[in-house]
């Protein structure tokens, strides 16, 4: 490890590896990747029933265009048009690069890459390698990085982005093994740390994922749409989304109170409608205020059981109430799906075995036997649609600081399933292109960093972290309580302003957790600020249900975004999709004159 580089990439997931690979290919060789752990992070350690990659349609007779895909991304609400257009325009190029690297997307014998419709998708732009698409992507990109001998600085957590007059000068990082702190000077940083995984108690992010959004917040970078998330039902012992076939086989939902008494609460609340609501959660997994009187009632009822002190489980051994007399009470949609799938069988587990046996094997590989044990669940944070505000080159409001992947706020209220994976690739490439187009501005000045005052005593880090995460899940997830969020924001702000006086470590070994808690608290403060600003000015929308508020029957597409700088938020209009030059001769002349 040197003490100066042209560019540092922070993170070793799909976005980070791609950014470093593209920098190298574009001639920027004085680079390194710094990571807390190669095997950590969401890209390598998560998936779903069929993890999706979203791109321009590349098969069949159905028409598509870059502009139409951009309109789809833009129509989700809260999205800047230049970002939507860039992600659409670059999607094919980035997808085919992954194909060339060996990611096994399915194709027919003539080279058409098969597609299917995903959520919020009017076309059939989605494709998949199965439940571990992002893992395959990460592994392929890592091989490419290793072939190029790009330096990887492992076991280092970045604890500070060093700036001067709004310009990146370097970073400070702690070696998580030796606990030594290093300062690296650089001209550019590409932040690829994934979503803010640690701010909630109920989360489906892998336990190894920490995130680093607080680094950019601390540096003074603008955030965007931090209130926009995806939440859905997931298992908690092993963190995994329970979408698709996990719901379509109609498991039994039960809650258990402190006396061990079981309640089949969905049936109690919804009657026989509960069967169809469970089935629809397979297609409509994320909580959505537009479905608050339909399938998203399941999320609301699950969350209310948990907040009342009960534990909630899915039981695949026993049929839910309503199926006592067979499948005649199901809607035609649910009945036809199970019938065509050969899954009109006697129990949820037998139906799951017929429909998707690998779904059972996945849990078995993590020590959970769905044939014999119940699956504890919660409504969990799964993906942040907001993040660090970037322009169409994925540069932040701080010169020389870029952000790519989930840490970047490229989505608003809704997004097509799988568009996040496309964004990791587009963002990494755009940042690399922009950096490569800049001339090196002479010698890189030395970055300076001083360790803050650390107080020793009995460590309170884990207790503070646990308490704040519990309160975030209780008051500031998809069901948002304004008075309680205001109190929580005051508590978190006081902690952030007096962090070194409030937080104690028992030994030097606690330093990585000290800095992680600081990152988490800074992020929670900014998220709460954005949530309160949006709650007051926008109200219930998307994944945000404001407690006590009547949800409008028809919701307009959001044409604004929430900008947050540290703890201050404001609502601004989004930028429209640009009307750009498409005359070939003009573009050719521009290219030749570069």
User: CA 91 to CA 410: how far, in whole Å?
Assistant: 14
Domain co-membership, 36 together with 160? yes
Q: Looking at residue 287, what is its pLDDT? A: 96
Per-residue pLDDT of the chain (594 residues; tens, 9 = 90+): 899 999 999 999 999 999 999 999 999 999 999 999 999 988 998 887 778 999 999 999 889 999 999 999 999 999 999 999 999 999 999 999 999 999 999 999 999 999 998 888 999 999 999 888 999 999 999 999 999 999 999 999 999 999 999 999 999 999 999 999 999 999 999 999 999 999 999 999 998 899 999 999 999 999 999 999 999 999 999 999 999 899 999 999 999 999 999 999 999 999 989 999 999 999 899 999 999 999 999 999 999 999 999 999 999 999 999 999 899 999 999 999 999 999 999 999 999 999 989 899 999 999 999 999 999 999 999 999 999 999 999 999 999 999 999 999 999 999 998 999 999 999 999 999 999 999 766 688 899 999 999 999 999 999 999 999 999 999 999 999 999 999 999 999 999 999 999 999 999 999 999 999 999 999 999 999 999 999 999 999 999 999 999 887 778 889 999 999 999 999 999 999 999 989 899 999 998 987
Question: Which structure tokens are listed for 453?
Answer: 């005052």
Same domain, 471 and 427: no
Residues 254 and 307 in one domain: yes
Is residue 463 included in any domain, yes or no?
Answer: yes
Place of tokens 């109690």: 268
Q: Which helix (H) or strand (E) holds 86?
A: helix 81-100
Tokens in use for 450?
A: 């001083």
DSSP string across 138-169: HHHHHHHHHHTT-EEE-SEEEEEEEEETTEEE
Asked whether residue 77 is assigned to any structural domain, the reply reads yes
Number of domains comprising the chain: 3
* Same domain flag for 171 and 255: no
Pair 151, 25 in one domain: yes
Is 165 contained in some domain? Answer: yes
Distance CA 281, CA 246 (A): 9
- Look at residues 83, 67, 39, 35 and name the one whose alpha carbon lies nearest to residue 430: 83
- For residue 40, tell me if it sits in a domain: yes
Q: Is residue 577 part of a domain?
A: no
Residues 82 and 200 in one domain: yes
- Predicted local distance difference test score (pLDDT) of residue 441: 62
Tell me how many helices (H) and strands (E) the chain has.
18, 23
Q: Are strands 223-224 and 560-565 parallel, antiparallel or unpaired?
A: antiparallel
542 plus 406 within the same structural domain: no
Q: What is the residue range of 57's domain? A: 4-228+385-437
Token pair belonging to 141: 């990109």
Domain shared by 56 and 156, yes or no:
yes
Write out the E strands in 288-432: 311-315, 375-384, 387-388, 401-403
CATH number where 559 lies? 1.20.58.100
Q: Rounded to whole angstroms, how far apart are CA atoms 118 and 121?
A: 5
Question: Could you tell me if 240 and 327 lie in one domain?
Answer: yes
First to last CA, the chain: 36
pLDDT in tens, 235-251: 999 999 999 899 999 99
Tokens representing 243 are 């979408």
CATH of residue 148's domain is 3.50.50.60
Grouping H, G, I as helix, E, B as strand and the rest as coil, residue 475 is helix
- For residue 449, being part of any structural domain is answered with no
Could you tell me if residue 504 is inside a domain? yes
DSSP E strands in 498-583: the ranges are 504-505, 545-546, 560-565, 568-573
Residue 192 shares a structural domain with residue 336:
no
Domain end, chosen from 360, 381, 402, is at 381
Task: Please indicate, yes or no, whether residues 59 and 41 belong to a single structural domain of this protein.
Answer: yes
- Are 191 and 402 in contact by the 8 Å Cβ rule? The answer is yes
Strands (E), 437-484: 455-456, 479-480
222 and 354 part of one domain:
no
581 within domain boundaries? no
């Amino acid at each position: 490890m040197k003490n100066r580089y042209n560019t540092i990439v922070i993170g070793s997931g799909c976005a980070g590896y791609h950014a470093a690979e593209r920098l190298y290919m574009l001639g920027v060789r004085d680079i390194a990747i710094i990571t807390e752990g190669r095997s950590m992070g969401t890209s390598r350690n998560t998936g779903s029933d069929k993890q999706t990659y979203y791109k321009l349609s590349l098969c069949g007779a159905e028409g598509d265009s870059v502009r139409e895909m951009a309109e789809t991304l833009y129509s989700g609400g809260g999205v800047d048009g230049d970002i939507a257009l860039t992600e659409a325009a670059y999607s094919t190029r980035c997808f085919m690069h992954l194909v060339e690297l060996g990611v096994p997307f399915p194709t027919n014998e003539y080279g058409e890459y098969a597609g299917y419709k995903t959520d919020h998708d009017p076309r059939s732009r989605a494709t998949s390698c199965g439940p571990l698409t992002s893992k395959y992507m990460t592994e392929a990109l890592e091989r490419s990085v290793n072939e190029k001998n790009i330096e990887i600085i492992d076991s280092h957590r970045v604890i500070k982005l060093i700036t001067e007059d709004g310009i990146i000068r370097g970073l400070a990082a702690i070696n998580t093994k030796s606990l030594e702190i290093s300062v690296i000077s650089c001209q550019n940083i590409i932040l690829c740390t994934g979503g803010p995984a640690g701010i909630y108690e109920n989360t489906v992010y892998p336990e190894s994922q920490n995130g680093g959004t607080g680094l950019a917040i601390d540096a003074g970078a603008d955030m965007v749409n931090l209130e926009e998330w995806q939440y859905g039902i997931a298992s908690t012992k092993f963190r995994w989304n329970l979408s698709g076939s996990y719901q379509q086989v109609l498991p039994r939902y039960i809650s258990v109170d402190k006396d061990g008494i079981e309640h089949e609460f969905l049936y109690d609340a919804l009657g026989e409608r509960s069967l169809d609501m469970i089935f629809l959660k397979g297609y409509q997994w994320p909580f959505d205020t537009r479905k608050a009187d339909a399938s998203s009632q399941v999320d609301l009822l699950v969350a209310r059981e948990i907040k009342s002190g009960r534990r909630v489980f899915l039981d695949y051994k026993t049929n839910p109430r309503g199926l006592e007399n067979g499948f005649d009470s199901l809607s035609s949609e649910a009945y036809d799906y199970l019938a065509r799938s050969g899954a009109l069988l006697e129990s949820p587990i037998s139906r799951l075995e017929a429909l998707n046996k690998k779904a059972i094997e996945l849990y078995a590989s993590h020590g959970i036997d769905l044939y014999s044990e119940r699956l504890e669940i919660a409504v969990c944070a799964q993906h942040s649609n907001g993040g660090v505000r970037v322009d169409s080159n994925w540069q932040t409001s701080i010169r020389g600081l870029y952000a790519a992947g989930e840490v970047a706020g490229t989505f608003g209220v809704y997004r097509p399933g799988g568009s996040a994976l496309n964004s990791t690739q587009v963002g990494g490439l755009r940042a690399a292109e922009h950096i490569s187009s800049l001339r090196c501005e002479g010698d890189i000045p030395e970055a300076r960093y001083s360790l803050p005052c650390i107080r020793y005593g009995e460590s309170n880090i884990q207790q503070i972290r646990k308490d704040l995460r519990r309160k975030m899940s209780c008051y500031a997830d998809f069901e948002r309580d304004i008075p309680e969020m205001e109190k929580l924001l005051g508590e978190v702000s006081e902690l952030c302003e007096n962090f070194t006086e409030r937080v104690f470590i028992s030994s030097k070994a606690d330093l990585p957790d000290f800095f992680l808690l600081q990152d988490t608290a800074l992020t929670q403060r900014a998220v709460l600020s954005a949530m309160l600003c949006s709650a007051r000015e926008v109200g219930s929308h998307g994944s945000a249900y404001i407690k006590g508020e009547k949800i409008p029957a028809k919701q307009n597409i959001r044409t604004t975004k929430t900008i947050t700088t540290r703890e201050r938020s404001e609502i601004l209009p989004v930028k429209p999709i640009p009307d750009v030059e498409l005359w070939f001769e003009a573009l050719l002349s521009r290219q030749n004159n570069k």
